[in-house]
Chain A
Amino acid sequence: GESVGLHLPTLSVQEGDNSIINCAYSNSASDYFIWYKQESGKGPQFIIDIRSNMDKRQGQRVTVLLNKTVKHLSLQIAATQPGDSAVYFCAENPNYGGATNKLIFGTGTLLAVQP
């Protein structure tokens, strides 16, 4: 749902390990979801998206899983690299209608990759 607070959850992993970042979304009517990566001082970078008629989608080194029953998204990053260090946001489109592409962002998770 809406992001709150100043203290980001942090996930610390070793280089080469797999990372799993989780996100709970708020609106059961949401039918489109995106994961973004944001490095310090930069805008969010599109990673991967998934629509509500899918449970899983794979990209290059990344996989997104969607569980609509519990309103949960996860982003899996294989063989995590130092360049993956960033804040990761999930975003949902609650599809309020009227051709609105409003995205609601989650709190964000800081991924710290240890060399």
Chain B
Amino acid sequence: DAGVTQSPTHLIKTRGQQVTLRCSPISGHKSVSWYQQVLGQGPQFIFQYYEKEERGRGNFPDRFSARQFPNYSSELNVNALLLGDSALYLCASSSTGLNTEAFFGQGTRLTVV
């Protein structure tokens, strides 16, 4: 079975632009979470979706939004990019919404210039 897949793997954007990152969870998993990892730090929670509903939101501005599709894949959108948005964006997949193993993808490396 394929693990969590994210696309693209790398991305370079200019300040003020918008970006969409994509994630496909492990087959059979219904929950997707997004994390931001700045160099040298641990991942920071952005969103969780379960059964296409938002179940949690971290301390991120409204420029960050996400959604989950009927096939449980997910997109993370970031508007009006800032230099500080440069980070590794990680998607985690879990079978249910609560207290189960969360498996991460390889991430999307976003660089804002």
Q: Which B residues lie within 8 Å of A100 (CB)?
A: 48, 55-56, 97-98
Contact across chains for A34 and B50 when beta carbons are under 8 A apart: no
Contact of B103 among A46, A89, A108 (CB under 8 A): A46
Contact of B97 among A36, A101, A107 (CB under 8 A): A101
- Chain A 10-50, CB-CB to B under 8 Å as 1, else 0, gives 00000000000000000000011010100000111110010
CB distance from A27 to the nearest CB of B (A): 13
Contact across chains for A105 and B101 when beta carbons are under 8 A apart: no
Inter-chain CA distance A91–B43, complex, in Å, is: 9
Contact across chains for B31 and A101 when beta carbons are under 8 A apart: yes
Contact across chains for B43 and A105 when beta carbons are under 8 A apart: yes
Q: With A8-B40, A102-B45 in contact, do A46 and B101 touch (Cβ < 8 Å)?
A: yes
CB distance from A2 to the nearest CB of B (A): 8
**Is A56 at the interface (CB under 8 A from chain B)?**
no
* Count of chain A to chain B residue pairs whose CB atoms are closer than 8 Å in the complex: 90
Q: With A43-B107, A96-B56, A98-B56 in contact, do A103 and B102 touch (Cβ < 8 Å)?
A: yes
**Is A51 at the interface (CB under 8 A from chain B)?**
yes
Q: List 21 A-B contacts (CB under 8 A).
A: A6-B39, A31-B99, A32-B99, A34-B101, A43-B106, A44-B90, A46-B101, A46-B103, A49-B101, A89-B43, A100-B55, A101-B56, A101-B96, A101-B97, A101-B99, A101-B100, A101-B102, A103-B33, A103-B35, A105-B42, A108-B41
Interface, chain B (partner A; CB < 8 A): 4, 31, 33, 35, 39-45, 48, 50, 55-56, 58, 88, 90, 92, 94, 96-107
Interface, chain A (partner B; CB < 8 A): 2-8, 31-32, 34, 36, 42-46, 49, 51, 89, 91, 93, 95-96, 98-108
Given contact pairs A43-B107, A95-B98, enumerate 18 new A-B contacts (beta carbons under 8 Å).
A2-B44, A3-B42, A3-B44, A6-B39, A6-B40, A32-B99, A34-B102, A42-B107, A46-B103, A91-B42, A95-B99, A99-B50, A100-B56, A100-B97, A101-B50, A101-B97, A105-B44, A107-B41
